[in-house]
Amino acid sequence: EAGVVQSPRYKIIEKKQPVAFWCNPISGHNTLYWYRQNLGQGPELLIRYENEEAVDDSQLPKDRFSAERLKGVDSTLKIQPAELGDSAVYLCASSSRWQGVQETQYFGPGTRLLVL
């Protein structure tokens, strides 16, 4: 079974430029998560999708971050414009159907973003 796929693996951009990350979850997983992980820290949730609906985006900086999950499968996370403080690893994860509790999440390898 293929795992969670993310691309690109690395991205270097200058500040004020836009950037986008792509995620393909495990087949059949209805729940998809985007996290940001700073060096030496645990992941911080940015947004959670149930199928195509964003059900928790309270931590997403909506002035510059946006996300979509068309057709309830693949998802993209965009930053426009990027700031120096956005340098981090962006992780995508998926899990099986939401049942009111958090079940095991399966993570992709992440996209390491460096903003210069």
Partner 1 sequence: SQQGEEDPQALSIQEGENATMNCSYKTSINNLQWYRQNSGRGLVHLILIRSNEREKHSGRLRVTLDTSKKSSSLLITASRAADTASYFCATDSNYQLIWGAGTKLIIKP
- Listed residue (67, 74, 15) closest to 36, CA to CA: 67
Q: Which positions from 3 to 42 touch partner 1 by CB under 8 A, shown as an x/- string? A: -x-----------------------------------xxx
Q: Which one of residues 45, 51, 72, 76 is an interface residue with partner 1 (CB under 8 A)? A: 45
**Are 92 and 26 a contacting pair, CB within 8 Å?**
no
User: For residues 81 and 109, which CB has a smaller minimum distance to partner 1 in the complex?
Assistant: 109
Strands of 1-116, DSSP E = 5-7, 10-13, 19-24, 31-37, 44-50, 53-56, 65-68, 75-79, 88-95, 106-107, 111-115
User: For residues 44 and 83, which CB has a smaller minimum distance to partner 1 in the complex?
Assistant: 44
Q: How far apart are CB 80 and partner 1 at their closest, in Å?
A: 25
In the complex, the residues that contact partner 1 under the rule CB under 8 A are 4, 40-45, 56, 91, 93, 100-110
